[in-house]
Each structure stands twice: as C-alpha cells, then as structure tokens.
Amino acid sequence: MASAKEQIKGFYTVDDAISMDYETTRDLQLKHLNRERTLSGGCKYFIKADGTKFTDHEGKEHLDMIGAVGVASVGNNNEFIWNELEKAFRSKQYLMGAIAYHSIAAAFAHNMALVSPGGRLTKMGTATGGAEAIESVIKLVKLATRGKPERTRILSCEGAFHGKTTGAVSVGGKEKWRMYQHPLMESVDWVPYADADALEAALARGVYSAFFLEPIQGEGGIIVPPEGYLTKVRALCTKYDTLMVVDEIQAGCARTGKMWAVDHENVVPDCLVFAKGFSGGLVPFGGFICTEELYEAAYGSVETCWHHTATYQENGLSATAGIASLEFILENNLIEAAAEKGAYFIGRLKTLQEKYPTIIKEVRGKGLMIGLETYEIPDVYKEGYGDYFADPINNDLVEVYRIQVNHTLNNPAVFRFLPPLTVTLEEINYTLESFEKCIQSALAHTGRNAG
C-alpha cells in the first residue's frame, strides 16, 4: 500500500509535523492559517510546554503566566491528565456519537453537579469551547421561556466578553467585536457592570428572559464587582422573574480561590457556563450546568429535546479531561493554592502600585485572576512604544524577561496574569522582580518620576 507521502507530494505526517523546524512552521502558518494575527500577535514557537514552563525552538525557557488565557489551570501537559486521557483512549470505549450512553460524560456531569454552586446545578450541556457553550445557553434560555412572549430580550453588561461567534458577540458588551457582524441578534440590552440600581431599573421593564454576566469581568479588564453585588443580582433576578446566567469560562475552575467565582458569595445562579480550565489544558471543552427546572423547561419534552444536538456533545475525551481536571484540582488543593498565592501576588503588586503610582492605576483581581490597569502614555512617547504603559510592560515581560502575559481584549490599558494554578512562589517572585524592572524602564523611557 502506498503511503500518504507517496500518494501526495509534500504530505506531512504527524511525526513530520512534531519535528518541524521554525522556518517551515512559520511559512506554513502564514500561508495557510491567519497570517495577520500570527504576525501582529508576537507569536512564539514553543516546542515544549511542561507545567509552567515553555521551551522555544531556540532552546530558551519562558514562564507561563497566562495559561493560554486561563486554560492551563492544572499546568501544561499535566502528566496526570495525560494518563487519564490515555486510559480513556485505551479503554476503546465508544467516545464519540451524540446518541449513545456515555459513562464518562455522565460521570463528569454527576461530579459537576456535586461541586456546582449549592449542589443545585444538576443538568449539563456540553460544547467544544466557550462561545459555543454561550450559544447553547442563549438557546436554552429561549426555549425555557418560550411560554412567556413578553420576555423576548436578554440583558447583558457593558464591557462583557462571551466569545466571538455571532450569538456570543450579540450578548457581548463591546461594539468592536460586533461591528462587522450586523445584523445580529438584536434583542439584547446592556447595563453598566456592577451597578445593581441600573440592573433593577432594567429588570423592572419585565421584558428580559435572562441576565448574562461574568462574576468577574475578564476581557473587560479584570473587574471585580463590589462585595454583595452577586447576591443583589440573584435577588433581583428572582424578584423580576429573570434567569441569572453566569459566565465562569474565565473565572471558574478554582481560578479565583473558590471552585466558582459565585461561591465567594454563596450565590446559586440558574445557569453557569464553563470552559477553559476544564479542558485539562489539552482537550477543547466547554458547556453549561443549570437547574433541573431550567433544563426541563427547555428540553424536557419529546418535542423540544432535539432542538439542541451537536456532533461532539457529551464527548468522552472532553469529559475525561473534565473529570481529571477536577480530580487534580481537588487532590492538589489548588483551590486553596489559588487563594493563597493570589493574595500574596496581588498584595505585592499593590505595593508596587503604591511605589509607582504614575504608571499603575489599579491592581485588581481575586485568586490567580489578576489585572493591572496602567495609565495612558503621554502623546509624545506613544509612537512605536504604545498607548498605555501596559504595552511596553507587556512587551518587555514577554521579550526581555520571557514571561508570557497578555492584554485584556476589551480594555487595552490592562494586562493580566492568569498563571497555571500550580505556579510556585519563586515563579511569582521572579515575575514581580521582572515587572518592577519593566516599570523602571518605562519610567526611564518617558522621563517620568516614580511617584
């Protein structure tokens, strides 16, 4: 039998791809994938990712302080997750197929119900990522409220980010990601984030089926609402018969020092959306958990149960990554670790903010979800340097100190740290020392005083 390479000139096998050099990889990526994003994103070629460390094609080591934007909560290429995935592969269970019994998906849904807020979100829908999960929740809400013709609208928050598919940008709070996709789902309104009075005024209109919110806004700039806000949201949603949907795609999975960010206020939403951290850093995954009442109202009839299907739903490999992530987090006390290391990290950053108040405007975050808002750079220094101090600092951290971080998508003044929850104190200290050097270099460049 002729090999694929013999049949198709230029064909690359997996072995070829794994050992591909930088130049070939670059050429292929620029030619066949998104050229402009690759070039403007400052991409690196990491040939190895292990825990919190990356090795690039020149053999240089980099520290992962962004975890693929919150994906690698358990670290990169975690051996435990790998082994569990391998077990699932080798079991030769039927891992695909939407319409079959799936023990691993059922077990994951069961485990998630156990760790869900108040143990009350006992039904699950799965997806292949965050935006698809959000899409499926938009539909869940619509189906569940189909008997309430006055409630055709969804309420969301200014600055919110829920993904970039058409439905997800429709409920997102940034026109930049919507502008070329109109006409969108037009039945959406927005209220300022963390403003309970504005929320009540909107909900009192009686037209909203659901209120979507991030318990901590991620891409909006790591915005932590004042304590008590989530509790108020819960009370207002109940009072005005509106479903409370929390997007924990970035803030969930132990990142903020609780399994879920809503757990900080013991709030039980009607629906919670997850993704990122439950991938084990290895397998695309997302989904929602919700109350039985909500799920049954949407899909609890023979007529409506077929209104949501997807090829990879209840996928065995994704569910394996989900179970393994939960197990690793629990057995390695990563919830407590995120709380403790996060408090230390944020505390030290706040000290730096006091020392350099002309550069850092605010340090925000909870656990290991941390953002730094910086000041705008004076116009005379902007060209080739950046609009906000976040730009040169981010750039120096990545290029000079080889620490991976990035900006928040909806707020360019802010860059953030979302390291694997396994990050060590030494790594945090190295980041802090490097960060201070970046600030000093920005001060020197712009002729500013520290205070």
Ligand X SMILES: Cc1ncc(COP(=O)(O)O)c(C=O)c1O
- Our CB check for ligand X shows the closer of 84 and 219 to be 219
- Our CB check for ligand X shows the closer of 162 and 234 to be 162
220/251 Cα distance (integer angstroms): 13
Neighbours of 20 (CB within 10 A): 16
Closest contact distance (angstroms) between CB of 137 and ligand X is 11
Judged by CB under 6 A, the residue of 64, 84, 214, 396 near ligand X is 214
Restricting to residues 258-287, which ones interact with ligand X according to CB under 6 A? 275, 286
From residue 228, alpha-carbon distances to 121, 157, 194, 196, 317 in Å are: 21, 17, 10, 10, 38
Restricting to residues 24-53, which ones interact with ligand X according to CB under 6 A? none
Closest contact distance (angstroms) between CB of 178 and ligand X is 15
229/219 Cα distance (integer angstroms): 19
Query: Which tokens go with 387?
Result: 């609009």
- Count residues binding ligand X (CB under 6 A): 16
- Our CB check for ligand X shows the closer of 161 and 278 to be 161
141/147 Cα distance (integer angstroms): 11
* Pairing relationship of beta strands 46-50 and 53-56 according to DSSP bridges: antiparallel
Residues 125-148: b if buried by 16+ CB within 10 A, e if exposed: bbbbbbbbbbbbbbbbbbbbbeee
Looking at 222-230, 247-255, 394-402, 440-448, which segment touches ligand X (CB under 6 A)? 247-255
- Our CB check for ligand X shows the closer of 259 and 297 to be 259
Q: Is residue 163 within the footprint of ligand X (CB under 6 A)? A: yes
Judged by CB under 6 A, the residue of 161, 240, 260, 388 near ligand X is 161
Q: Are 368 and 419 in contact (CB under 8 A)?
A: yes
Closest contact distance (angstroms) between CB of 41 and ligand X is 15
Closest contact distance (angstroms) between CB of 160 and ligand X is 8
Query: Which tokens go with 255?
Result: 């990142």
- Our CB check for ligand X shows the closer of 128 and 353 to be 128
Judged by CB under 6 A, the residue of 73, 250, 256, 406 near ligand X is 250
Restricting to residues 63-122, which ones interact with ligand X according to CB under 6 A? 69
Judged by CB under 6 A, the residue of 67, 75, 125, 130 near ligand X is 130
Q: Is residue 407 within the footprint of ligand X (CB under 6 A)? A: no
Q: Exposed, middle or buried by CB within 10 Å (0-12, 13-18, 19+), for 119? A: exposed
Closest contact distance (angstroms) between CB of 409 and ligand X is 7
- Our CB check for ligand X shows the closer of 97 and 129 to be 129
- Our CB check for ligand X shows the closer of 123 and 162 to be 162
Restricting to residues 218-237, which ones interact with ligand X according to CB under 6 A? 218-219
- Our CB check for ligand X shows the closer of 47 and 69 to be 69
355/348 Cα distance (integer angstroms): 11
Place of tokens 């269970």: 93
Q: Indicate the SS3 state at residue 227.
A: coil
Q: Are 431 and 403 in contact (CB under 8 A)?
A: yes
- Our CB check for ligand X shows the closer of 219 and 396 to be 219
Residues 394-432: b if buried by 16+ CB within 10 A, e if exposed: bbbbbeebebbbbbbbbbbbbbbbbbbbbbeeebbeebb
Closest contact distance (angstroms) between CB of 381 and ligand X is 31
From residue 284, alpha-carbon distances to 131, 171, 258, 275, 336 in Å are: 12, 22, 23, 8, 26
Q: Is residue 253 within the footprint of ligand X (CB under 6 A)? A: no
Measure the N-to-C terminal CA separation of the chain; round to a whole number of Å.
73
Q: Is residue 162 within the footprint of ligand X (CB under 6 A)? A: yes
Q: Is residue 249 within the footprint of ligand X (CB under 6 A)? A: yes
**Interface with ligand X (CB under 6 A):** 69, 129-131, 134, 161-163, 214, 218-219, 247, 249-250, 275, 286
